[in-house]
């Protein structure tokens, strides 16, 4: 019976349509026979260089011209090439069989690599790389999409304009306005704020609201303990001031959590890592582990927060500047969002000059301006004594790939720090804010409304 590897080589010589479809996906190491591997390498070199299939005669000459083969191997190659004859094989069966063979070989090689890593025989990779290696092997498939043909694919493009995008909506009206309905998948969204302003509060609130929508939420924390994040979410979802949680009787607490579970089909997982110890590779491994052990796949990921992540690219931040390091983290997290097909929400600190400012700018991003260059949405959370007295926090858009940045560039949301909640303010609160392009609406007379922001720098 003819081996599949030989059938693949035979069709690569005689079926140019087949070879053009499969060559991008077949790796030379998939062939466990060294001679067949060499023959495949020469086949693909010829195809790439001359943009045409190779004949048996040319293939034999190319193989025999190599200086890394023994006499026995050259003899074996001659035998294989001489037996490569044309034959009718169903095209789709050949494609399906080749795809399965590629996947099986990729998984086998990934397992072998994983065993070597686990045994400490790989100097370049550690055990954190194993889930990624196995995931890549399991994902092997023949994807025929090689790009969008602008003139030929207009129908698909037109349909995409009218397709309802899968968004994660906010429970805050103005955030939905600036994002056109919520956060799309494959995006990185950043809140910029000073220490104590409310970065974690914002993320805990949004995580709580998404859970109530019946969606799965993964919250990664590197600043606070898992229990502290859960405590903030308890205050939000159970409608109990955070300081009073410890006073709740166990039965009452249990009933509240049980009743909450009946209101949602979603799941919230909180995972803690030591500060600056985890990077996108660890998060990818966590996603794989959650999928295997709990059948859990998140609809959105929160990372609290970006600046205290590690970089997968630069280990230990030894000889790289902060601009490159933070930009690398942002790029890796956005790449993870694309791989996992989810939005990622994170945060960053303001610089010293931005702390306490009533008009934070992109330039107030701490450590690296490469972060806003990578983010899809970036906004500042601003708090002052006057805003605190009103129970409000000011939001200023800094970058927005979803909507016009100058529409609702600044707006306020209510904040209840005791219950770790945000809420929509009355429209009159928004009217006191001066957006770019609007006429000044402040009242500097003695009868000015209580909610004016006189003295603020906008």
Mean pLDDT of 242-256: 93
**Can you list the domains of the chain with their CATH numbers?**
4-138 (1.10.860.10), 167-431 (3.40.50.300)
Q: What are the tokens at 47?
A: 């195809």
Which tens digit of pLDDT belongs to each residue from 364-403?
676 667 788 899 999 999 988 888 999 999 999 999 999 9
- Mean pLDDT for the stretch of residues 408-434: 87
SS3 assignment, position 191? strand
* 3-class secondary structure per residue, 220-282: EECCCCHHHHHHHHHHHHHCCCHHHHHHCCHHHHHHHHHHHHHHCCCCEEEEECCCCCCCHHH
Residue at token pair 């609160």: 429
Who wins on pLDDT, 428 or 413? 413
39 vs 26: CA distance, rounded Å: 13
List, in sequence order, the alpha helices (H) in 163-198.
173-178
Runs of H (alpha helix) within 397-438: 427-431
Residue indicated by tokens 């509060």? 201
Q: Give the count of alpha carbons within 13 A of 332, CB side only.
A: 22
**What radius of gyration do the chain's Cα atoms show?**
29
Residue-wise pLDDT for 186-235, tens only, equals 999 999 988 888 899 999 999 999 999 999 999 999 988 999 999 999 99
pLDDT bracket for residue 90 (50, 70, 90): confident
Structure confidence at residue 305 as a pLDDT band (50, 70, 90) = confident
């Amino acid at each position: 019976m003819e081996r599949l590897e030989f059938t693949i080589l035979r069709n690569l010589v005689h079926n140019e349509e087949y070879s053009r479809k499969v060559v991008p996906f077949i790796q030379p190491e998939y062939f466990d026979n060294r001679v067949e591997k060499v023959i495949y390498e020469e086949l693909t070199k010829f195809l790439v260089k001359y943009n045409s299939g190779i004949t048996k005669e040319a293939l034999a000459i190319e193989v025999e011209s190599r200086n890394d083969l023994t006499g026995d191997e050259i003899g074996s190659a001659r035998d294989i090439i001489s037996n490569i004859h044309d034959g009718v094989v169903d095209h789709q069966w050949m494609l399906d069989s080749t795809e399965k063979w590629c996947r099986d070989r990729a998984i086998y090689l990934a397992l072998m690599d994983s065993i070597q890593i686990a045994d400490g025989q790989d100097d370049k990779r550690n055990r954190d790389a194993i889930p990624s290696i196995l995931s890549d092997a399991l994902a092997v498939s023949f994807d025929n999409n090689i790009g969008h043909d602008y003139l030929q694919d207009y129908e698909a493009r037109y349909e995409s304009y009218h397709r309802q995008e899968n968004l994660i909506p906010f429970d805050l009206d103005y955030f939905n306005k600036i994002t056109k309905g919520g956060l799309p998948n494959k995006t990185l969204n950043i809140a910029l704020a000073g220490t104590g302003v409310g970065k974690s509060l914002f993320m805990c609130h949004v995580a709580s609201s998404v859970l109530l929508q019946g969606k799965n939420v993964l919250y990664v924390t590197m600043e606070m303990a898992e229990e502290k994040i859960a405590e903030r979410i308890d205050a939000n979802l159970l409608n109990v001031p955070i300081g009073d949680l410890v006073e709740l009787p166990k039965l009452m607490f249990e009933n509240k959590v049980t009743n909450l579970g009946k209101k949602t089909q979603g799941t919230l997982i909180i995972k803690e890592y030591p500060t600056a110890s985890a990077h996108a590779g660890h998060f990818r491994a966590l996603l794989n582990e959650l999928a295997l052990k709990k059948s859990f796949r998140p609809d959105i990921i929160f990372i609290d927060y970006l600046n205290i992540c590690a970089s997968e690219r630069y280990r230990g931040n030894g000889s790289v500047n902060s601009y490159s390091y933070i930009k690398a983290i942002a790029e890796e997290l956005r790449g993870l969002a694309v791989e996992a097909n989810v939005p990622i929400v994170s945060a960053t600190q303001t610089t010293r000059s931005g702390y306490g400012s009533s008009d934070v700018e992109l330039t107030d991003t701490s450590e690296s301006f490469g972060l806003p260059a990578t983010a899809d949405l970036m906004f500042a959370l601003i708090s002052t004594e006057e805003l605190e007295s009103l129970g409000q926090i000011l939001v200023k858009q800094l970058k927005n790939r979803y909507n016009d940045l100058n529409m609702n560039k600044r707006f306020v949301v209510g904040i209840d720090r005791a219950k770790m909640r945000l809420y929509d303010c009355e429209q009159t609160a928004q009217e006191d804010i001066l957006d770019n392009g609007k006429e000044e609406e402040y009242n500097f007379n003695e009868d000015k409304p209580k909610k004016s922001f006189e003295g603020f720098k906008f």
